[in-house]
Structure 1
Amino acid sequence: MKHLARLFALLLLVAAGLSQARNLQPTDDPESSPVWQKVRASIFEGRSIAPAPADMLVLEAPSRAIDAAVVPIAIRSRWPQGAGRYISKLYLIIDANPSPISAIFQFSPESGRAEIETRVRVDAYSHVRAIAETSDGQLFGVTRFVKASGGCSAPAGSDAQAAAASLGQMRFRVEGGLKGRTPVLAQLMIDHPNHSGLAMDQYSRQFTPAHYVRKVDVTYDGKPVFSADVDFSISENPNFRFWFLPQGNGELRATVVDSRDLRFVAAQALRDTPK
């Protein structure tokens, strides 16, 4: 019930500004968005958000999406993750989506880099925002404008029976192997329909009930790498590319919980590459 209540609250949040969002143009002032103003007041409570320096935070997104249901997004940072000041959170906000607070990623000094790549749904022409929060509480933001339409109500791309059969299957891909304490790039792939609840089944003419990944936790050798609170703004079959900082041999582990409280776990043992 709490997830339905959250969804209803977010739908109310976006309703007032959605008509304006559908008519947005790239030249429109990102700060004037009524949805953004409400989101900002809700989760940042009036705190100052400074423009992010280019050497700190970069948001990569297409200016015009080929497929509004599968829009590639990358949030990159060159800041080192360490015991001093580091990026502790990244917020991904898509103004025109029914649920504009699309993802909140949390990082630790063991994350290697506070970067994430994924694929999202975009429901209408929209400002897309990445907000970085540092470990000392400062906020920095960057915005891109994306032309896309209908991503949240697009029908599923996979067969329903096949999707149900593979539900929750996960796998890692680690690039380059472990080499001492050098950050390593990895990818987590999750088989999950991530139904938004807004797409109509083409045969039954009924809306497919919402069913999506809502929580992701990744650790290495028992230490946190990143966690994410996400929702149906993430595309079907969620896919995350991220960095982690190994300290010798260990196990890369992902724990995923969806909106029906189903829990899925995947693990992969890794060994340091001899020099």
Structure 2
Amino acid sequence: MRKKQWQGWGPGEQAEQHYLVQPRALAGGGDVRHVSEFLRASGWRDRSKTGGPLLMESPDRTVRVAYDPYVLPGGWTVHGQADDPNGAWSAHLGRQTPVEIVAGLTDALTQPRSAHAPNVWAPLEEQNWHTRLEGERYTATSPEGAAWMQYRHSPDGSAMWWTGAKDKQGNGWTANFTPNTPMYLVQAFSAELANPDPVMRPRGRVPHSAQIRTWSVSVKPSQLRAWQQARITAARAATWARNSARTTRPRTTARPHTPAGGTRTRR
């Protein structure tokens, strides 16, 4: 794209052709900044090396999110350190996993956990996914049959969440989560996987698949920028609110008592 098309961001700008794609699970990877910019606005540190893969680290340094397109098969890796009750956990998502679905997981990393017990299957059932039990496997399949979510439990005691999407030409992606991945994160992922809303892709970035539906839309660069900025602003506002709540939290330890009329000795 020539620079002159991007200058001004105002009345003289030209609309560009984009496409709404449905189902979102087959929309292709998308722009990784949808994930990284939200994390950055939420206070995460960018540990990426120049010219290397993306690497983001949580403020408390316990979780890392990486995207590496330079190796095969490449894709996303999310790794959480062990804490007292649980061991380390990880999630691996293929490079064609739509960023909107990846963000279901990574956005949830920046937010407080819900007080309610997580239910991975609830978002899928709400969107009429088909569920079935086959031996040690419980599987949910999307209405059009392109995407799935599966919980596997092997006789040796190992277990794993496995999910993905594939069209009839064999194009698609897979992802898996280790058994001790926090369930609220897996639920956040399944909610975006089941989301029926289409996602937007620019011209030239729409997969060639007979199983997707597309609608052509004209979008101005300033509109795209405004939509992206709204997401970043929301992340910054939520981060500010959490930090403010922590700094204004009332003291839980008693102050030293000073008798009336007495003075404290400086040390």
Structure with greater proportional helix content: 2
Structure with greater proportional strand content: 1
Q: TM (normalized to structure 2)?
A: 0.31
Using CA pairs below 8 Å that are at least 6 residues apart, which structure has the higher relative contact order? 2
Q: TM (normalized to structure 1)?
A: 0.31
